[in-house]
Amino acid sequence: MDFTKMHGCGNDYVYIDCFKQDVEAPELLARTLSDRHKGVGGDGVILICPSETADAKMRMFNADGSEGRMCGNGVRCVAEYLFRHGYASGTAADVETLSGVKHIVRREPGLLTVDMGAPELAPEKIPVTGFAKPVVNELVEVNGGAVRMTCVSMGNPHCVVYVPDTAGLNLPVLGGAMEHSKWFPEGVNTEFIQILDETHLKMRVWERGSGETMACGTGACAAVVASVLNGHCKKDTDVDVLLLGGTLTIRYTGDTVLMTGNAVEVFTGTVEV
């Protein structure tokens, strides 16, 4: 099986071109190829498939084999792949996902902007249980302590928590506790945010099914939406989110969320499965 290794801000996946080859048991394939010691290595596997409604369809599988609805860094890389390999022309491409069709503009090779759509704040749509109204700066108990969380869906569930300093966090404990807490029946991605100023946020993320990753595009979008809701950032303003793997620029207009970031091809190869 031929594959391409790509990353967006260090959020790396193994990409498989399903225009040219079929994939059986993608859940098992993701667990096998994502292993950083015995496989190719990555945060998961993304299939680039034919679509009846867009230039291509993205199917994204986490490192544990679970299928995700959306990946912001992944969809940029899918679009970059489409441009590089002649599946899309010009400067715009549409990619079908489980969270709808995403429109991507290629500003230059390797730099793309994705219209991520409107954030979802209704608790039942995220989903987050135990709340009748949008969860903004709500105090909850987790792992024996208290945190304030803001919940947003960007096609997948996110919980944003503000901290004084992201460097000293015990992310496996805190992130794992949030992922498996009673409030999130489908698990959750948790963004731990340090506010630098109103246009710069520092972020570490715990992704459900993968653990800590170098970056999370939908998580960066959720962080900026939450920061606007909490009064830390301004609406319709570019905000740089500093992640372990690089920087994403996010703009929440009030109607939609625009995400700009890189998409890098690392290497190609062939693996026996």
Q: Is 143 annotated as a binding residue?
A: no
Please write down the HEC assignment for all residues of the chain. Answer: CEEEEEEECCEEEEEEECCCCCCCCHHHHHHHHHCCCCCCCCCEEEEEECCCCCCEEEEEEECCCCEECCCHHHHHHHHHHHHHCCCCCCCEEEEEECCEEEEEEEEECCEEEEECCCCECCHHHCCCCCCCCCCCCEEEEECCEEEEEEEEECCCEEEEEECCCCCCCCHHHHHHHHHCCCCCCCCCEEEEEEEEECCEEEEEEEECCCEEECCCHHHHHHHHHHHHHCCCCCCCCCEEEEECCEEEEEEECCCCEEEEEECEEEEEEECCC
Q: Is 137 annotated as a binding residue?
A: no
Q: Is 69 annotated as a binding residue?
A: no
Task: Judge whether 221 counts as a catalytic residue.
Answer: no
Q: Is 218 annotated as a binding residue?
A: yes
Q: Parallel, antiparallel, or unpaired for β 200-207 and 189-197?
A: antiparallel
Q: Which residues contact 90 (CB under 8 A, 6 or more apart)?
A: none
Q: Of residues 9, 159, 216, 233, which has the active-site annotation?
A: 216
Q: Is 27 annotated as a binding residue?
A: no
Q: Is 156 annotated as a binding residue?
A: yes
Q: Is 270 annotated as a binding residue?
A: no
Q: Is 73 annotated as a binding residue?
A: yes
Q: Of residues 71, 159, 221, 233, which has the active-site annotation?
A: 71
Q: Is 62 annotated as a binding residue?
A: yes
Q: Are 203 and 212 in contact (CB under 8 A)?
A: no
Q: Is 208 annotated as a binding residue?
A: yes
Task: Judge whether 216 counts as a catalytic residue.
Answer: yes
Q: Are 128 and 161 in contact (CB under 8 A)?
A: no
Known catalytic residues are 71, 216
Which residues are annotated as part of the binding site for substrate? Answer: 11, 62, 72-73, 156, 189, 207-208, 217-218
Binding-site residues sit at 11, 62, 72-73, 156, 189, 207-208, 217-218
